[in-house]
Amino acid sequence: QSALTQPASVSGSPGQSITISCTGTSSDVGGYNYVSWYQQHPGKAPQLIIHEVSNRPSGVSNRFSGSKSGNTASLTISGLQADDEANYYCSSYASSSTLLVFGGGTKLTVL
Amino acid sequence: ELQLVESGGDFVQPGGSLRLSCAASGFIFSSYSMNWVRQAPGKGLEWLSYISRSSSATYYADSVKGRFTISRDNAKNSLYLQMNSLRAEDTAVYYCARVMGDWSYDHWGQGTLVTVSS
């Protein structure tokens, strides 16, 4: 069982927007602004797309945005494109012996 | 170009040992903390271990504590993971990743596959 809870799957049509949630506790997501999101295509390494809750690394499309409210962080992808079909993982710094925790991952299907 | 290249993955029997390496290039390796993360077949990401820039601090997931040891050699721009007492559930792709100040992992290696089976 993953420390952070994500929906197993979400789907949307090209051009639409989707949101993926990531729920933790006050010891991780709720306690720090150190939430990151990663995109992983099959057979590839994860790629950072959001850090510090809502910041995009250079080169990442502005169609990706992040936010947080309480113990839940969210990733929104607007203007869905076929290449957005991938697995998405959230992570958070955690104030425990487990420094960093990941969500179980969400499979995004672009219909 | 910044690169992280893992090596050392192999097929090993339960109870065996393996040492993974991660060769870094394209950045000042000694200026960054590093981590190991793994992904079992068809499963999600699992944080394994962290090492600070000077090796003064190391942390481990409960699942590998006492069996795995992270280390680094800044002179050789290399990160290591010594894995002992391997179990079937350790079967996974192992990634090394560079840690930023906000605990995000901005660069990952391509991964190396470890298979533990009799």
Q: How distant is the Cα of B48 from the closest Cα of chain A, in angstroms?
A: 9
The confidence score (pLDDT) of residue A2 equals: 62
Question: Residue B16 — pLDDT band, cuts 50, 70, 90?
Answer: very high
| A-chain residue closest to B112, CA distance | A45
Q: How distant is the Cα of A89 from the closest Cα of chain B, in angstroms?
A: 8
Positive or negative torsion for Cα A51, A95, A23, A46: positive
Q: What is the gyration radius of the CA atoms in chain A, in angstroms?
A: 13
What percent of chain B is modeled with pLDDT above 70?
100
How many CB pairs (< 8 A) connect A and B?
Answer: 66
Question: Per residue in B20-58, pLDDT tens?
Answer: 999 999 999 999 999 999 999 999 999 999 999 999 999
Positive or negative torsion for Cα A21, A23, A29, A30: positive
CB atoms B47 and A98 under 8 Å: yes
Q: Which of A45, A57, A98 sits opposite B95 (nearest CB)?
A: A45
Question: Per residue in B101-115, pLDDT tens?
Answer: 899 999 999 999 999
CB atoms A34 and B105 under 8 Å: no
| Residues from B in contact with A at Cβ < 8 Å | 35, 37, 44-47, 50, 59-62, 95, 100, 102-106, 108-111
Find, among B48, B108, B112, the residue nearest to A57 by Cα.
B108
Q: For chain B, give percent helix, strand, coil, nearest 5.
A: 10, 50, 40
Q: What does pLDDT average to in each consecutive run of 10 residues of chain A (111 residues)?
A: 88 97 95 97 96 96 97 97 97 86 96 92
The confidence score (pLDDT) of residue B26 equals: 97
Find, among A23, A26, A20, the residue nearest to A8 by Cα.
A20
Residue type, A40: Q
